[in-house]
Amino acid sequence: MKEEKFKVINFIRELIVYVDKYLTNFPKKEIEIKNRIRNESFDLLELSYKANITSDNNKKILLLEDIIAKIKVIDFLLNLCYDKQIINNKRYIKFGEKLDDILKYTLGWKKQFKE
């Protein structure tokens, strides 16, 4: 169980590094989208740490659901960037893979407390 929690956090860290590295050349008129993606990524990290230290399983499930919702928001924002041709197909796919990893492990983590 502990391994999965830390994998989620590591995947989120990788996402944050990737966001900082590959969302550098944003058009000025779209900078708000970049900032939102960045902030939502840091929120993911914070929620993961909170879920990791919370001993109340009901609260932990709620935090994990918040993480899942944030992943969906980031996915939407990245899709918007792709549609506006701010990021190319290769980067869009790479971001998607990172979000899928976070989602998969978060759902596994959540499933342990639902049973």
* Structural domain range at position 20: 2-114
Tally of domains within the chain: 1
Q: CA–CA separation, 81 vs 91, rounded Å?
A: 10
CATH number, domain with residue 77: 1.20.1440.60
Does residue 22 sit in helix, strand or coil? helix
Digits of tens for pLDDT over the chain (115 positions)? Answer: 444 457 899 999 999 999 999 888 889 999 999 999 999 999 999 999 999 999 999 999 999 999 999 999 999 999 999 999 999 999 999 999 999 999 999 999 999 887 6
Interaxial angle between packed helices 57-83 and 31-53, expressed in degrees from 0 to 180 and rounded to the nearest 10: 160
pLDDT value for 34 = 95
Q: Is 24 helix (H, G, I), strand (E, B) or coil?
A: coil
pLDDT at residue 95 in the model: 96
User: 51 with 60: CB under 8 angstroms?
Assistant: yes
Per-residue pLDDT at 1: 42
pTM of the model: 0.90
Question: What stretches of the chain adopt beta strand conformation (E)?
Answer: none
